[in-house]
Amino acid sequence: MHDSKPAIARAPKYDEVHRAAEVAQLAFETESIQTWLSSFSWIADNEGLDHLVVTEAQEEIVAALVCTPGTCYITNDLVPFSAVGSVATHPDHRMHGYAGMIMTKSVQVLYEKAYHTSALWPFSYNYYRKFGWELGGEIRSYTMPSEFAASLTDPSGTRPATRDDLPAINALFDQMARNYTCCCVRNERWWGFKIAVHDLKLDGTDDPRTSLPVMVHETDGKIDGYVMFNISGEGENESIKGRELIAENPQARRSILAALAGFGAPVVKFFAPINDGFLQELPNPRAVRVDIEPGFQFRVVNPSAALEMRSVDTSISGKLGFTITDPVLDTFDFDTEVSEGRITKVNSRAKERLYMDIQTFAQLYSGYVRPVRAYELGRIQPTSKEAIEFAEKVFPKAIPFRPLVEVG
């Protein structure tokens, strides 16, 4: 029987949270619902039901996603942010546009709540590009035989982490994150979410096949490195992955890698920013395979508000206008003045102007693509050459990086 009631994207009710998690479980084909239920329930309880989006069709929940709010580093500037994750459609209800409905609704929610930026890890870059997200950066991965990792150094300085190590771990991450764009600020709520939902272990346990344990490295009683890791695959395809490995010095990193090799997987792999220099530390760099992979997708939800959150060189001054098309929020048309290290939205019309889509603006904002390069690719239409030259100054050079543990 045909249901005349149209499908609608909305926030769920409390008694619908379990169904939303069930949709995610079925969509991702996992044996257990627990991770999904923990995620949806934690967000509902700690952030509010309005941070969940579902599609209701034929009087049942058929699609769902989670918005996880926070703050992201744009180098030393802090910008309101929300990750989007667990995007799922019930297998029996695919190809009806229900996922598109929750994606569209999520953008509207982020805009209304003043989360000026957003990121996600895509199954398809083309799909999420339709809703304004764009490739935000690249990630470097290193893969090596465990025998090689074990030979790097003595792993004795590396041990399982405990909750008492959390301040030191957070300080190391914060020190790293301020050199990049798009990492999340990690406060007590962030860690609470990871521990509750992603089974992050800070209690000395170390089963990387069923959880995400953490190890730290100490030098003279000071923590100078850590890794969050897991084991995946079986037999010859089994590998241990340092999903986030941060170290203050080469010795700490080598010790952590040697400790990872001790878990018995034939291959050790870890991920790092695109400008990482691990090969420079090695006597035999050919023992390591290096891959450059496309990373997260990034979105700017409110371009003028996001620009006002950024600092620029105090020597820069001038005006620049923007006309930015957005597939969900229509067109942003505004003008800015740059003065005394800040960018301010103004009412007067600027002489120089840039025309682009929101996807291109996201790449400029994250630093992944420079204005000159975007112009060469035909993705920016400037009023003049001077507009591009000024944009090069307005958007500081930066390297985007988002660790793999920052999923959802």
For residue 187, what is the domain's CATH number?
3.40.630.30
Residues 158, 287, single domain; the answer is: yes
- Cβ atoms of 119 and 83 within 8 Å: the answer is yes
CA atoms within 13 A of residue 59's CA, in its CB half-sphere: 4
User: What confidence score (pLDDT) does residue 204 get?
Assistant: 62
Residues 290, 157, single domain; the answer is: yes
How far, in Å, CA of 26 to CA of 198, rounded?
18
| Cα–Cα–Cα angle for 61, 66, 72, rounded to 5 degrees | 165
Residues 149, 259, single domain; the answer is: yes
CATH number at residue 348: 3.30.1050.10
Mean pLDDT over 185-191 rounds to 88
- Cβ atoms of 243 and 121 within 8 Å: the answer is no
Residues 285, 201, single domain; the answer is: yes
**Residue 128: inside a domain:** no
Residue with tokens 């930015």: 324
Q: Pseudo-torsion of CA 184, 189, 193, 199, nearest 10°? A: 100
Residues 205, 236, single domain; the answer is: yes
Residue-wise pLDDT tens digits, 290-323: 999 999 999 999 999 999 999 999 999 999 999 9
Residue-wise pLDDT tens digits, 130-140: 999 999 999 99
**Residue 372: inside a domain:** no
Domain boundary at 246, 271, 294, which?
Answer: 294
Mean pLDDT over 167-180 rounds to 95
Residue-wise pLDDT tens digits, 46-77: 999 999 999 999 899 999 999 999 999 998 89
Domain count, the chain: 3
Residue-wise pLDDT tens digits, 327-345: 999 999 999 999 999 999 9
User: What confidence score (pLDDT) does residue 93 get?
Assistant: 95
Tell me the pairing of strands 353-357 and 318-326.
parallel
Q: How far apart are the first and last CA of the chain?
A: 37
DSSP, collapsed to helix, strand or coil, labels residue 83 as: strand
**Residue 60: inside a domain:** yes
Instruction: Calculate what percentage of the chain has a pLDDT beyond 70.
Output: 97
Nearest to 395 by CA among 375, 377, 376, 368: 368
Cα 228 to chain centroid distance, Å, stands at 16
User: What confidence score (pLDDT) does residue 177 get?
Assistant: 94
Residues 146, 233, single domain; the answer is: yes
Residues 174, 277, single domain; the answer is: yes
Domain boundary at 246, 266, 294, which?
Answer: 294
Residues 148, 274, single domain; the answer is: yes
Residues 177, 281, single domain; the answer is: yes
Instruction: Look at residue 1 and tell me whether its pLDDT is greater than 50.
Output: no
**Residue 159: inside a domain:** yes
Residues 34, 80, single domain; the answer is: yes
User: What confidence score (pLDDT) does residue 395 get?
Assistant: 94
Paired with 138 in beta bridges are 294
Write the burial class of residue 199 (CB in 10 Å: 0-12 exposed, 13-18 middle, 19+ buried): middle
Domain that holds residue 56: 8-115
Domain boundary at 115, 131, 160, which?
Answer: 115
CA distances from 54 to 4, 84, 91, 185 (A): 19, 13, 15, 27
Tell me the pairing of strands 297-300 and 117-120.
antiparallel
Mean pLDDT over 135-162 rounds to 95
**Residue 132: inside a domain:** no
Would you tell me how many other CB atoms lie within 10 Å of the CB of residue 150?
Answer: 18
**Residue 120: inside a domain:** no
How far, in Å, CA of 118 to CA of 116, rounded?
7
